Amino acid sequence: MEKMNMRFFQTVSLILSALSLLLLVTASGEPKKWERGQGWGWVWGEDDEVGALNEMTPTTVLQAIQLVKKGQVRDLGIVYDRTSFKWPGHSPGEIMTFRSPEGVQRQKDLDFTLPENGNASLTTWHSCALFINDNVATQIDSLGHAVTGKDNHWYNGFKVADWGGNWGLQKAGAETIPPVIARGVLIDVATYKGLEALPSKYVITVDDLKGSLKRQGTDLRFGDVVLVRTGVLRFWGETGADNEKIAEHDSAGMQLLAVKWLVEEHGAMMVGSDTSSLEMMQPPPPGSDSFMPVHNYLLIEQGVHIAEFHYLEDLAAEKVYEFLYIAATNKIKGATAGFTMRPLAIF
């Protein structure tokens, strides 16, 4: 009798656990503001600076964490230095040694470093001064990055005249991007097309996305962080110094139809790729009034952040298409992107 009772309680416990998991999955799929066929828009209130990432909740975070089965971690960041490839609209960067052991000892401008003041061990340090653009290497564009119209507005109607300035953005800068913890999905278009990397100015279509997902056996769910692989970062090497080779393949990307399919039909909460700009910019699609309509659509109209230069080669090689995605931007107030990042894929 005692054994029967124990089995009964074990069975009930398993059933309750399964029901709890089912409720968790169901609840996490319920959008707060998103509407199919429309996406988001400026729906979070006139002061909002977060956009679609408002859809993250403790429930969605718990669901994403449950994707981790093996405890494997993959670094999605790339290494940057002064030689690295960058989009031509951004400034170059320099990393300069500001304090070196030799300099500290020779300069003798800091009293606490002198042997006669108690530093007989000659302790010194290294520190660097960074002159760097806020849109280099692995990054997430803030909702203030793209600006449009005669009134120079960005997401939620914030305008340069009201919220611009010489010392960074005063609304929707990178410091407003919350830590992102969500289900990540890799869409490996390069492998689907049978290529090491997509060719110059290749336009990724909705059919390419559908075909890639079908080949992988992967589904899209509301609230995903969707990362599209073109294969360009296989040429990055140590620091992305082969500017000519990278530039050739970096121009591949999506245009509006494909991005709208991800956002409006599937509720992608953030969209990114392994390129510097996500979209195929030149030439712009027929009827477009901007050289970067995808940026304008995602950042300004939809409040969907853009992830760029994410290293997807390891995930593609291991055929990992679903994972826990974690990213936190550097909190530099007024910056237009979280830059030189190390987002993680955990599975």
Q: How many domains does the chain have?
A: 3
Pick the closest to residue 76 from 341, 305, 322, 318 (CA basis).
Answer: 341
Q: Work out the widest C-alpha separation in the chain, in whole angstroms.
A: 84
Residue 230 sits in the same domain as residue 119? no
> What Rg, from alpha-carbon coordinates, does the chain have?
23
Residue 150 sits in the same domain as residue 205? yes
Residue 65 sits in the same domain as residue 13? no
Q: Compute the distance between CA of residue 244 and CA of residue 92 in angstroms, rounded to an integer.
A: 16
* Local confidence pLDDT in tens for the 347 residues of the chain: 554 454 544 554 444 444 444 433 444 468 999 999 999 999 999 999 999 999 999 999 999 999 999 999 999 999 999 999 998 888 888 999 999 999 999 999 999 999 999 999 999 999 999 999 999 999 999 999 999 999 999 999 999 999 998 999 999 999 999 999 999 999 999 999 999 999 999 999 999 999 999 999 999 999 999 999 999 999 999 999 999 999 999 999 999 999 999 999 999 999 999 999 999 988 877 788 999 999 999 999 999 999 999 999 999 999 999 999 999 999 999 999 999 999 999 99
Residue 79 sits in the same domain as residue 102? no
Q: Compute the distance between CA of residue 196 and CA of residue 202 in angstroms, rounded to an integer.
A: 13
Residue 281 sits in the same domain as residue 155? yes
Q: Compute the distance between CA of residue 270 and CA of residue 261 in angstroms, rounded to an integer.
A: 13
Query: At which residue do the structure tokens 């279509």 appear?
Result: 205
Residue 11 sits in the same domain as residue 69? no
Give the number of other CB atoms < 10 A from CB of residue 21.
13
Residue 269 sits in the same domain as residue 210? yes
Residue 59 sits in the same domain as residue 154? yes
Sequence-ordered list of residues with C-beta below 8 angstroms from that of 274, at least 6 positions apart, any chain: 227, 228, 229, 230, 231, 232, 233, 309, 310, 311, 312, 313
Q: Which two tokens stand for residue 87?
A: 């989009």
Decide which of 131, 154, 189 is a domain's last residue: 131
Residue 74 sits in the same domain as residue 180? yes
Query: At which residue do the structure tokens 């074990």 appear?
Result: 10
Which structural domain, as residue segments, surrounds residue 6? 1-30
Q: Compute the distance between CA of residue 247 and CA of residue 243 in angstroms, rounded to an integer.
A: 6
Q: What is the pTM of this model?
A: 0.89
Residue 119 sits in the same domain as residue 237? no
Per the rule left: phi > 0, alpha: psi between -120 and 50, beta: everything else, 164 is beta
Torsions phi, psi for 77 (to 5 deg) = -95, 155
> Domain of 154: which CATH number?
3.50.30.50
Residue 42 sits in the same domain as residue 176? yes
* Percent helix, percent strand, percent coil in the chain, to nearest 5: 35, 15, 50
Bond from prior residue into 293 cis (ω within 30 degrees of 0): no
Residue 23 sits in the same domain as residue 42? no
- The whole-number pLDDT of residue 287 equals 80
Q: What are the helix (H) ranges across the chain?
A: 2-28, 58-65, 101-107, 160-163, 189-192, 206-216, 243-250, 256-260, 266, 293-295, 313-318
Torsions phi, psi for 87 (to 5 deg) = -65, 135
Q: Compute the distance between CA of residue 194 and CA of residue 179 in angstroms, rounded to an integer.
A: 35
CA distances from 317 to 187, 231, 311 (A): 13, 11, 12
Q: Which two tokens stand for residue 17?
A: 């656990």
CA distances from 306 to 14, 173, 225, 339, 345 (A): 40, 13, 10, 12, 17
